[in-house]
Amino acid sequence: MTEARAAILTGYGINCEEELDAAFRLAGAAVDRVHSATLLRGHSDLAGYDIVALPGGFSFGDDLGAGRVLAHRIRSRQLPDGSTILEQLIDFAKRGGFILGICNGFQTLVALGLLPNTEGSYRQEASLAANLSGRFEDRWVQLAADDRAPHPAVSGLGSFEVPVRHGEGRLVFRDRRVREAVIEGHLSCLSYVDAAGAPTDAYPENPNGAELACAGLCDPQGRVLGLMPHPEAYLSAINHYDWPRRRRENPSMPDEGEGLNLFRRLVDAAGAMRADSGKEEA
């Protein structure tokens, strides 16, 4: 399969790029770290990439709300050719590229209107508000994927455990129409679930009180994916807080962490798209 290429945005307080870089490399992608300033100043572009990833962290210190300053710059900063980075991202997705945002990256994508984008207008339709607990949540959660979600990295992903670490992760929708469109389109593609595997509003299984127990959203075209939990923080079995007991009880357990599968699926989908594009050009 043709190797996919991923661009990881860095700088301005983003601090999870190392883990995200490792995740994509372990999944088989070629990776470049691109400082956000080089994009915003027009010194770099997205040509040649199959995946653009916005990592977690605290871009611009979250001083005006999580991800909002970065989103404002991406939306409004004009490049030398008169376009904006948001317009480049929209065009990138329309050409078949995949966009991923994790935690602060998810908050940025929502603020940009790239998620859930049920109207196709790229206007903000949701927000990620303060956790109902009133505090920063740093814990492990169980997620379940919606098999009918339009995103190829999520459909068929199943259930898996990953950590969360955020203070503003409670997804709220702009209005009932957006909420119903998200439900109808299976765009709430990752849910916080309880021990029985059912989506839940109960704390701490749902660590923030998100509507629809939503831990992750995708767009209707299956090109943009955002999630609050950190799959890149669970790439190895020993990343899990309870791994010694797990290993004793199941000596044959996989060495890989459960978060890696999402990246494998995303990289495979992007590689297949690159290969198809190559055939068309030939």
How many folded domains does the chain comprise? 1
Rounding to the nearest 10 degrees, give the CA dihedral for residues 164, 167, 168, 170.
60
Enzyme catalytic residues:
103, 230, 232
- Cβ-proximal residues to 166 (8 Å cutoff; 6+ apart), any chain: 66, 103, 131, 136, 137, 208, 228
What is the pLDDT at residue 282? 41
Contact between residue 234 and residue 10 where contact means Cβ atoms under 8 Å apart: no
- Beta-strand relationship, 5-10 and 170-173: unpaired
Closest listed residue to residue 100, CA positions, set 51, 147, 62, 142: 51
Tokens of 104: 């602060």
pTM attached to this predicted model: 0.95
3-state secondary structure of 186: coil
CATH number for position 194: 3.40.50.880
Residues 245-261 have a mean pLDDT of 94
pLDDT tens, 214-245? 999 999 999 999 999 999 999 999 999 999 99
Band (252; pLDDT cuts 50, 70, 90): very high
Query: pLDDT, tens digit, for every residue of 47-84?
Result: 899 999 999 998 887 777 778 899 999 999 888 888 89
pLDDT in tens, 95-128: 999 999 999 999 999 999 999 999 999 999 999 9
Backbone φ and ψ of 60, nearest 5°: 55, 30
Residue range(s) defining the domain that contains residue 106: 5-281
- Percent share of the chain, pLDDT over 70: 97
Report residue 167's pLDDT band, with 50, 70 and 90 as the boundaries: very high
The Cα–Cα gap between 12 and 9 comes to 10
